[in-house]
Amino acid sequence: MYLKNLHLRSFRNYIEQQVNFNRQKTIIVGNNAQGKSNLLEAVELLATLKSHRTIRDRELVLDGSNAGQISATVKRAYGTAELTLTLRKQGKRTIALNKEPLRRQIEFLGNLNAVQFSSLDLDLVRGAPESRRSWIDGLLIQLEPVYVHILQQYNQVLRQRNALLKAIRKQEQDRKSDISTTKTIDKTQLFLWDEQLAAAGSRVTRRRARVLNRLAPIAQKWHDRISGKTETLTITYAPNVGWTEDIPEKVQQAFLEKIEQRRIAEYHQGKTVVGTHRDEIEFTIDDTPARYYGSQGQQRTLVLALKLAELKLIEEIIGEPPLLLLDDVLAELDPHRQNQLLETIGDRFQTLITTTHINSFNDLWIKDAQILTINQGK
């Protein structure tokens, strides 16, 4: 696939800017705080309807404006898709495909695929489990847009179950301090939510494990190549409820059993302590958790291997190479890793690269590249 152009209106620090891409590689050069990452963020938003920098749309809209817009034309094997995302300071965002407003995100997602690699991605290894779950969710949304609904359903069940547990806890506390409550909560309501949590959670956790199983061998291969096969990488999905067999009924059963085990803890804490929102992705290098013991270099190699694997997996499943967005990472890679990346990208993957110093690249990167200079959102 090929991103032909991008049009930003009142998005972040861009008042109005049209960008036409005319090479497989585009290098975006600019000093700090000029809008380089903002530009890549706009592409990421069209690909996933999410930004890894914020969950609040109001931050995405130019200060002083009520609404902002990102639009782009993507050339695909099946034709051309024109994507438009309108963001508002207040109120809901809207999406359109070929100028037709869409009600459902799943019709929008999948038209543009992109893999983002920024210095923040080191959090993938050393950050909290949340960042790893959100990474795998972002990948799944692109591979299987319906996943966005599956995830929303789970989060909705979780919110409602949490609200109920919180209310139950409050009732118990009030009772202990002899505060009379007007209405009593029926605790058996919780059993209905248990079932729902198990059903929705099983859909999420199985999909995550499955995609990770496909990604792991590709990442391992890349890791071998980059590290010179001196170390062994293992990637495991560790579900909080501990299921082992990818069979819906068995996974749901594992949920229900774990919920039963932790019932008292849930009453005490007034929230859901069992479920997919506590799953973990474990990376180990030679049997040592990369999170705690990996050196900076080892962690960087791991993240690079994961990103390359993402590229390949999306290409394999979608049947077209996705875009690669490299935000400020190239300069952090040593020449060997830079070359690995360059070889992989070849001419197949359209790549947008940001940098503050163009001369930090070797000539091969610059050869044939389109070079854009950004200065204060222009």
For the chain, what is the total number of helices (H) and then of strands (E)? 12, 14
Question: Cβ closer to ligand ATP: 261 or 356?
Answer: 356
User: 3, 6, 7, 34: which one contacts ligand ATP (CB under 6 A)?
Assistant: 34
Only segment of 18-26, 56-64, 87-95, 122-130 that touches ligand ATP (CB under 6 A): 56-64
Tokens representing 254? 């594992």
Q: Is residue 37 a contact point for ligand ATP (CB under 6 A)?
A: yes
Report whether 30 belongs to an annotated binding site: yes
What single-letter amino acid sits at 201? G
Question: Cβ closer to Mg ion: 37 or 252?
Answer: 37
Phi-psi region of 111 (alpha: psi -120 to 50; beta: other; left: phi over 0): alpha
Only segment of 30-38, 181-189, 201-209, 367-375 that touches Mg ion (CB under 5 A): 30-38
- Give the C-alpha separation, 242 to 37, whole Å: 38
Report whether 32 belongs to an annotated binding site: yes
b/e map 96-134, b = 16+ CB within 10 Å: beeeeeeeebeebbbbbbbbbbbebbbbbbeeebebbbb
Q: Which of the choices ligand ATP, Mg ion, none does residue 12 contact, using the CB cut-off of 5 to 8 A by kind? A: ligand ATP
CB of 39 to ligand ATP, least distance (A): 7
E strand spans, 250-350:
280-285, 288-289, 323-327
Question: Cβ closer to ligand ATP: 63 or 343?
Answer: 63
Q: Is residue 37 a contact point for Mg ion (CB under 5 A)?
A: yes
Phi-psi region of 213 (alpha: psi -120 to 50; beta: other; left: phi over 0): alpha
Element (H, E) at 95: strand 94-97
Report whether 227 belongs to an annotated binding site: no
Question: Cβ closer to ligand ATP: 31 or 288?
Answer: 31
Q: For the chain, state the CA radius of gyration.
A: 23
Summarize as ranges the residues that interact with ligand ATP (CB under 6 A). 12-13, 30, 32-38, 59, 61-63, 328, 356
Summarize as ranges the residues that interact with Mg ion (CB under 5 A). 36-37
Binding site residue list? 30-37
Binding site residue list for ATP? 30-37
